[in-house]
Amino acid sequence: MSSSSFINALRRFIALRGNVSLFRSDRGTSFIGATADLGIDVTKGSVKNYLEKSKIVWTFNVPHSSHMGGVWERMIGLTRRVLDTLLLGPKGKNLTHEVLSTLMAEVTAIINSRPITTVSKDPEVPFVLSPAMLLNQKISGHYSMCTDIDIRDIYKEQWKQVQVLSDLFWQQWKTHYLQNLQSRRKWTSEKMNLKVGDVIVIKDRETARCQWSVGLVEEVFPSADGLVRKACVRVVVNGKPCTYTRPISELIRLID
C-alpha cells in the first residue's frame, strides 16, 4: 500500500466504526517490513500528519512481545484455524469476491456476539455485554437466521453458500472458543465453586448462530468433599424459562 492507500483504508475503517483515538498493533516482521519498503510510517511523513490532525495515537507493541496482544491474537489465531479448515477444503473452492466478503461479515458478527462479562444479574434474564454492543451501541436482538438451509445448499445460490459456510464456522468456532475459556489441566488445585446467582454460559450444541445459552445458577449440589460438580441452572428458551441440571464441565462462569 502507498501512504495514500493506507490513509484511504484508515478512512474506510473510521467511516464504518466511528472515530478512533488509539490504535494498537504488533511488530510483525511482515508488517514492519512492508511499511519500511513502501515508505509507510505512522511516526513521520503524510501518515503521521494525518494522524496528528485527526488526534489519533498509533502505538506499537514492544518488539518480540506478541503476548502483549494476547486478547486479539487469540481471536485471530482461532478464527484463522477455523477458516483454514473451511476455505482450504472442497467447500471453500471457487468463492467469488462477493461470497467471501459476505462470509467475513458474518464471521465478524459471530465473533463480536460472544458474551464477555455480566452487567446485570436480573433474576429473569441476566444482561450480558458483548463486543458488538460496545461497537454498535445497540443491545443484541434476534439475529436473522435462515433455518431452512442445509449442507446441500452450498452448491446452489451464492447467498445460500454463504449461510452454509457461516453455520459451519459458527459450529467449529463456538466449540473451540468455549473450550479456551475452561482450563483443561489436571485438577491439582481447587477452584472457586459455582454458587447460586452466578451467570453462566451453557455449552449447548443446538443454539442458533450468534445465540448463546446464558442463564443463572439456581441451585448447586456439593459432593461429599464439599466441591460442586453439578448445578441446576435456569435459561430462557424462546421466551420461556427452562431449568436444566448440568455438570460443571458444561458450564462456564462469566466474570462480573
pLDDT tens track for 15-28: 988 888 888 877 76
Of the candidates 76, 101, 74, the residue with the CA atom closest to the CA atom of residue 166: 101
Judge whether residue 71 has pLDDT over 80.
Answer: no
The verdict on 77 and 59 lying in the same domain is no
Task: Pick the most confident of 17-31, 187-201, 234-248.
Answer: 234-248
Conformational region of residue 239, where left means phi above 0, alpha means psi within -120 to 50, and beta covers everything else: left
Ranges of beta strands (E only) in 75-179 are 117-120, 127-129
Selected residue with higher pLDDT from 74 and 187: 74
Q: Identify whether 205 is part of a domain.
A: yes
Specify the pLDDT at position 141: 55
Judge whether residue 186 has pLDDT over 60.
Answer: no
- Mean local confidence (pLDDT), 37-42: 63
Judge whether residue 234 has pLDDT over 70.
Answer: yes
Share of the chain above pLDDT 90, in %: 15
The verdict on 155 and 241 lying in the same domain is no
Q: How far apart are CA 55 and CA 246, in angstroms?
A: 50
Beta bridge mates, 216 = 199, 234
What pTM value is reported for the model?
A: 0.76
- Mean local confidence (pLDDT), 117-131: 77
The verdict on 93 and 169 lying in the same domain is yes
The verdict on 43 and 141 lying in the same domain is no
Selected residue with higher pLDDT from 232 and 181: 232
Q: For 245, how many CA atoms within 13 A lie in the half-sphere containing its CB?
A: 6
The verdict on 53 and 153 lying in the same domain is no
